[in-house]
Chain A
């Protein structure tokens, strides 16, 4: 049950934690913590209807805890840790990582936390609005407002207005 229901979502959890933390090492730690939590609570697994959303929610909470701990230390600014990611990338990713990709990455990283979370869940992972509500514990209106702001921030800063000549 654990291996068939939980392990397959590991990459989604990892990407979400990575989006929030900007460091693949920390993201890995978070995913491991999530699995330990889920494993210890596996007796209650049957009563959870959306296992994946539940895991994503734990991932988010643990990642935010890590960010808060980091801010308390204040020795490890977020910008710095976002640079670390370049070292941890595979050669494949490094070649794919064109200048534009980096610009988009930084642009999304600079978005307010909620906007970044909603955009990640919708545009990268392809979750429905209802699932996003469940994962982020937000209502539909908040999810849509945050997605709208995120997309428009990216559009204004990256995609030239009327560049596609309507």
Chain B
């Protein structure tokens, strides 16, 4: 649909006010890139031609090839990085495993020693039995003490005998002394 310059002028005014639709902007674009642009619209035409020119700017065709290569390169790189990361993770995991194992054994030992101390205190379930057994034990100790006392008594007798003997000797000495005087 060919438009005259007046209509284009009105559309352009709408354009400056940002009231044009994309379709209307497309009309302006194709009009200004056409051959019959009047002089008074030349500056605006330059602007729309600039837009059109810029729209033609493109990457070279090798770009696709290059980009796919670099994309694949980074992919293999990230694979290597992730392998490297796995090794690091495995190292840390091994360290943690050693710590956990050590902790487990230490804990077992502590529990075992606790069990033993509990075994000493808890051999009887009935307190009466425990009392009887304790009494027996105490009696055994007291019997032993009795025997020990008898033994000690004998030692005492020896002591007394010794004292008696030494006493008699002293008496004899005094007797002889008085005789000599």
Residues of A in contact with B (beta carbons under 8 Å apart): 3, 7, 10-11, 14-15, 18-19, 28, 31-32, 35-36, 39-40, 93, 96, 100-101, 104-105, 122-126, 128, 144, 147-148, 151-152, 154-155, 158-160, 163-166
Which residues of A lie under 8 Å from residue B16 when comparing CB positions? 151-152, 155
User: Bound state CA distance, A166 and B68, in angstroms?
Assistant: 53
Which residues of A lie under 8 Å from residue B75 when comparing CB positions? 39-40
Question: Shortest Cβ distance from A4 into chain B, in angstroms?
Answer: 12
Q: CB distance A160 to B51 under 8 Å?
A: no
Q: CB distance B43 to A28 under 8 Å?
A: no
Q: Which of B56-64, B121-129, B135-143, B169-177 contacts A (4 or more CB under 8 A)?
A: B56-64
Residues of B in contact with A (beta carbons under 8 Å apart): 5-6, 8-10, 12-13, 15-18, 22, 25-26, 38, 40-44, 46-47, 49-51, 53-55, 57-59, 63-64, 66-68, 70-71, 74-75, 78
Q: CB distance A11 to B64 under 8 Å?
A: no
Contacts A32-B70, A104-B47, A124-B55 given; does A148 touch B64 at CB 8 Å: no
Q: CB distance B43 to A158 under 8 Å?
A: yes
Further contacts, 4 of them, CB under 8 A, given A18-B57, A165-B40: A124-B54, A151-B16, A164-B38, A166-B9
Closest to B5 in A: A164
User: Bound state CA distance, A14 and B15, in angstroms?
Assistant: 26
Question: Shortest Cβ distance from A96 into chain B, in angstroms?
Answer: 6
Q: CB distance A126 to B44 under 8 Å?
A: no
User: Bound state CA distance, A16 and B55, in angstroms?
Assistant: 10
Q: CB distance B67 to A11 under 8 Å?
A: no
Which residues of B lie under 8 Å from residue A18 when comparing CB positions? 57
User: Bound state CA distance, A122 and B63, in angstroms?
Assistant: 26
Closest to B43 in A: A159
Q: CB distance B17 to A125 under 8 Å?
A: no
User: Bound state CA distance, A18 and B26, in angstroms?
Assistant: 23
